[in-house]
A and B are shown apart, each in its own frame.
Chain A
Amino acid sequence: MARMNMIQAINSALDVLMDRDPDIVVMGEDVGYFGGVFRATAGLQAKYGKTRVFDTPISELGIIGVAVGMGAYGLRPVPEIQFADYIYPAFDQLVSEAARLRYRSAGEFTAPITVRSPFGGGIFGGQTHSQSPEGIFTHVSGLKTVIPSTPYDAKGLLIAAIEDNDPVIFFEPKRIYNGPFSGHYDRPAKNWSQHPDGEVPEDYYRIELGKARVVRRGADLTILAYGTMVHVAAGVIEEQGIDAELIDLRTLLPLDIETIEESVKKTGRCMVIHEATRTSGFGAELSALVQERCFYHLEAPVERVTGYDTPYPHSLEWAYFPGPVRIGEAIKKIMKD
């Protein structure tokens, strides 16, 4: 075991797997010699060579397009998109190609690629360094979407994602790369070194996709969250002293519906929290599923605490971000219902 932050855990996952599988290649803008703008690929080019870890032209379309072709050849590419906000030029290659290749060729050709991309806000990233576009990808048949919330999960899930034979969108919450975040932006930042989930095995291990993690057991309310919001929710639960069950979804698609259903049937209340904008966001899917499956167990309407339906603002970040105040008020409301 070693102490790692999320960046180091991701780097370790890539290192461990590249050592095992010569067909894994890592590519993206600034990922090679420099080791990535967030250092996630630091040292990999020196260790595995330029033909396995390389810099690319600034073309997200090209990065994903060539990755699909490499996958069709038989490689296992791990392309990086520098910010999730810049994934859109590659949208056609992801939606029309990577996601559909297995289906349209009846399994003859596949796209076993894992697209890593930092996402989420809370860092004064403004409109184009803060977005959470996961709901756009969960809507696409043929893509899997994974979001870790701890260094331990980041490594185990990334290994499982890369080994998965389907295309995976792997969104990394950059706000918690270095440490968990309670949403109290005015308090000193914590580091993963003081957190139990910063203990990460140095060797190979995997966390199966499609399995949620129950962060905290509780009887009165089920909170569904992922990424940074897991830590924000945990903080509010502690501050309010309520007996909530907190579930970190980890994989949005395929979703761990059993864990969700079991929890909501037990608590009778469900709250969904995400940074992404509300309308047609992934929370809407979660809310609908809970309503369909737990209708007779619900004691209150499913509550959604999300980003507002606006582009991500710069100076107004803490009014926008679904932080402790907004979540706290929502918890009071749902517990009264």
Chain B
Amino acid sequence: MSTRPNLPPLRLHVPEPKYRPGDEADFGDIAIPAAGATPRPAVDAAPAAFHDLAYGLVRVLDDDGRAIGPWDPKLSPDTLRGILRAMAKTRAFDERMYRAQRQGKTSFYMKCTGEEAIACAQAYALHRDDMCFPSYRQQGLLIARDWPLIDMMNQIYSNKGDRLGGKQLPIMYSTREGSFFSISGNLATQLPQAVGWAMASAIKGDTRIASTWCGEGSTAEGDFHSACTFASVYRAPVILNVVNNQWAISSYSGFAGAEATTFAARAIGYGIAGLRVDGNDALAVYAATEWAAERARTNQGPTLIEFFTYRAEGHSTSDDPSAYRSAQEREKWPLGDPISRLKQHLIGLGEWDEERQAAMDLDVANEVKAAQKESEKNGILGHGMHQPMSTMFYDVFETLPWHLEEQKQDMLAEAKAAGIETS
């Protein structure tokens, strides 16, 4: 170390969230543009024209629940009720599965509370056969696409009904039929894969597009950079969604670079269209996604969308957020709750009321409960009715090579000698 008396010593900046446990949270300093204030460009606008959008915030619903401005997607009341129901069902599903984990029926669960609009409204804005490359917090995609809850629960319980053979950690769903790509535990790996899928679709002259999601924390991975570069270079028909819920487990978004810029603004450097959107505003989410899908579908290239939202609950069932953030944050979050806001909007339109909301909540709760009961008939984790032991050796390769066949036979022989049931 050399110190020169005439120069100030260098200082390392380590980001620090504003509020820690016990602190009074106040988000008054976050600039929230008024609903309708952010312009809506043409779908073929040049990437350089997105500066204001990347630093602004696309919002449709105002504080009174009215839809305002150029991004209002003007959805039918039936579609609005469909999105509301998908969000409510997602929340009910989360509540139920969280409790199932606490009851020891499974090892792990992750909620998406507060982020339901992103997956649910996006599912409505995409075509059913557009390929989704989600992270682990977009269960709303499956639910909005009416994927059977029992199938999701079978996976969570790793029971004998689990199509994935009990090989995957709970919530790492996969369904080709549902256009929902196999979830990986390795963060952001799905981003270049989605770009590749979109490139393949373009190579074959298909009309389907890809959409992928990661959290703001995962944008720090090299995969994010590679995905943006490839998406831009080949003008891939893909939507790159960054769900900025402010927290990556215990690390606030500053550790992914949020102190200095927005995540949407990263698009500008790659020459990609970039939108920053109120993630708790289902109409804004729908409109931005529909816009990006149209852009992709007409060969205008990729869009990066940052959804500004808040992770209302812990990271997972293995996490206790009271250890690192103010307990008040959720209540003080300036963009509110996505379900309440859409409900208020529908009521304002005269298309909904508290009674119907209460009836719907009861209905989705019952639907989830019934599915859980059915699923548990297939078993729960650690209580038998799981997959045969030899399942573990299949699908490593298309066919079983000799060394896996040998290991399988050894395992079965050992289990038999020890009197362990193998199927």
Contact = CB atoms under 8 A, between A and B. Distances in A.
- Indicate, yes or no, whether A interacts with B: yes
A242 interface: no
A92 interface: yes
A62 B227 contact: yes
Given A73-B197, A96-B184, A142-B396, A61 B203 contact: no
Contact of B186 (A51, A73, A96): A96
Interface stretch (B15-23, B171-179, B373-381, B408-416): B171-179
Interface residues of A, number: 47
Interface string A102-132: 1111111110000000000000000000000
Contact of A104 (B133, B184, B204): B184
A219 B373 CA distance: 67
A59 B226 contact: yes
Nearest to B206: A73
Contacts of A73: 131, 196-197, 200-201, 204
Contact of B175 (A68, A108, A142): A108
Contacts of B174: 104-106, 108-109
B229 interface: yes
B223 A104 contact: no
A74 B206 CA distance: 12
Interface string A63-83: 001111111111101000000
A103 B196 contact: no
A52 interface: yes
Interface residues of B, number: 47
Contact of B192 (A61, A105, A109): A61
A66 B397 contact: no
A165 B398 contact: yes
A153 interface: no
Interface in B375-423: 395-398, 401-403
A69 B195 contact: yes
Contacts of A51: 202-203
Nearest to B238: A69
B120 interface: no
Contacts of A74: 200
Given A25-B203, A59-B226, A59-B230, A104 B172 contact: yes
A69 B236 CA distance: 12
A254 B398 CA distance: 12
A109 B186 contact: no
B262 interface: no
Interface string A47-60: 00001100011010
B222 A105 contact: no
B389 to A, nearest CB: 16
Among A67, A68, A72, residue most surrounded by chain B Cβ atoms (within 10 Å): A72
Given A72-B181, A89-B222, 7 more contacts: A65-B193, A96-B185, A104-B164, A105-B182, A106-B163, A166-B397, A253-B401
9 contacts: A61-B223, A65-B189, A72-B197, A93-B192, A97-B186, A103-B395, A104-B164, A107-B395, A255-B403
Interface of A: 25, 51-52, 56-57, 59, 61-62, 65-75, 77, 89, 92-93, 96-97, 100-110, 141-142, 144, 164-166, 210, 253-255, 257
Interface of B: 131, 133, 163-165, 167-168, 172, 174-176, 181-182, 184-186, 189, 191-204, 210, 222-223, 225-227, 229-230, 233, 395-398, 401-403
